[in-house]
Chain A
């Protein structure tokens, strides 16, 4: 199947790009939005990972429950409150489907948001993203009303995945036991070929981890980015050889290229596909500012910014998706499986959610 090419706006390299602020960066325009986001700002916190700003968080319970963007979390997670104090956070729910994480911090009397319906909000309606300060982090309009995504947009992909450049198959011993990933061919300009791997090599180890199947090799690569170096051990005839391979990047098409135009400051989210339902806006927001609440002019919280998805779009996970998940998150139904920093303390008891039949 060939993908439909996109007729493209001829990208131009402007030697002298005019100095002109986009809506989001226009401080004069942001001023009248201050009262609009005032209440939501009180429920917005900064989420920091390994001492770096990673996302925003939305307070959903006065007892210290905060929703944020799961895929931005790594290492030591802390929450910076409005008074500047940083407190430890533990991840009590991690839902890969919506890319939401529920954090718990030791705090009381936080101001929680109330989620309002998003479905009837029409195209052209103003939206504003609350941030940690009185100015919104972005303003814009509803570009497409809340909708179910289709096609490639519903598939979770990792656009920054590292590429090895081999065509692997399972290698098995005489008893049918998996012993590695056999390279049937290498890409002509691929990372593997450059490093010296040959067709026929059997990859048995990557970064010190044993590889016994091609799927296992793919899984290991999934966690690595283009440009990263990986130590690969292969069996060539009866010899073991070790190679340092600098992984390549995903091939970029015209759409990727254009969507990245303007993302120097407002970086696209790494996880920007694979959601079920979103409200699409033209807000321009940086990836690290996702996770905070989005309001209309009345201050109603329509949902949470879930991804900077492209040059023209930021996606909001709508209230309708979040509300039924929250009690399940609190009840531990989406407890993270391999959390590195989960303390041993038991979670506060929460009532079981009322399951609704669809």
Chain B
């Protein structure tokens, strides 16, 4: 787990003060009555259980066709088609690449996001079609993919519309679909029922249980609309976090345009250019995840995996600090970098270049 992800989780989730007050005064509904999608209380009779069941079975069936698996490189997550031209909502971490986890670790380091990367979209019947990544917001964990082949119905894709997640109240009944543990042959998208526990602009919590592979999959309200995208879990079974659809809506055009909305800030154009990419986490050690081809760093002997520990005589403790030191530099400056490479310490003097 990266520190960024930890940071992200600190945003919300104060303990909710449950408002699940039984409404004993409500008259029992007539048999065959419909479940009110806005209701925030429990079913109290078999008739009410049946009404809720009738709604859920109908909607699971209806929303199935739009629930997909997103296969990106070696990883498999989920997604949902939200427009007839094949726009897919998913989680940012489903469509990013990660370095292999260190020995004994469970998660690798996120690599710089690239829009336009090829992914495969697996439909509920197992058919795979092509797609390409659009934009992400890594901190929010929102991501978009465009299916690049024509849909089955006169070129159109089956889809489920997106609702305003801001209207969702704690206690409301919801269900989720997705591909827990990745898609499995012969298994349909997997349905789970639950209730909204808490909802804010940046995250929604439900007791619809999730696990790896569900990421990117849809959370639906009982109007049959998408209100969230599965993102992450905590130790408790009631701690399942979804990206609210409003978080997508507030930067919809940027995501569609393929922007990495929260991409780490690049140094000011006037500053000297080194040609390295660091870990996404600005507080992390200044270790190099990638080098620009034939950039000053590559020419000067820096390697991916090196950790820059000194800038001339200043000790470097974070990516942020490194960027600060780079700001006043200009092309042609010679900087003495001290780097840690495995167990070795090396000193490299590199002439900064000019940003293209």
Contact = CB atoms under 8 A, between A and B. Distances in A.
Partners in one complex: yes
Interface of A: 2, 4-14, 16-23, 26, 28-29, 31-33, 35-36, 122-126, 140-145, 147-151, 153, 253-255, 257-259, 261-262, 264, 266, 280, 282, 284, 297, 310-313
A312 B57 contact: no
A10 B1 contact: yes
Interface stretch (B72-80, B153-161, B291-299): B72-80
Contacts of B20: 28
Given A4-B74, A254-B212, A310 B232 contact: no
Interface of B: 1-2, 5-6, 8-9, 13-16, 18, 20, 22, 42-46, 48-50, 52-53, 56-61, 70, 72, 74-77, 91, 93-94, 106-107, 141, 175, 180-182, 184-188, 190-195, 197-198, 205, 207-216, 230-239, 241
B207 A7 contact: no
B125 to A, nearest CB: 14
A261 B209 CA distance: 11
28 contacts: A6-B212, A7-B75, A7-B76, A7-B77, A7-B212, A8-B93, A8-B213, A13-B6, A14-B239, A18-B205, A20-B236, A22-B207, A23-B193, A28-B22, A29-B43, A122-B60, A123-B60, A124-B53, A124-B193, A125-B57, A141-B56, A144-B190, A145-B188, A255-B211, A255-B212, A282-B192, A297-B49, A313-B190
Given A14-B9, A35-B46, A150-B185, A258 B237 contact: no
A296 to B, nearest CB: 9
Contacts of A5: 74-76
Contact of A18 (B15, B77, B175, B185): B15
Contacts of B42: 26, 28-29, 32
Given A10-B232, A284-B237, A125 B184 contact: no
Contacts of B94: 7
Contact of B237 (A145, A153, A266, A297): A266
B58 to A, nearest CB: 8
B211 A150 contact: no
B193 A11 contact: no
The 4 closest A-B pairs by CB, nearest first: A7-B77, A8-B212, A124-B57, A262-B237
B191 A8 contact: no
A294 to B, nearest CB: 15
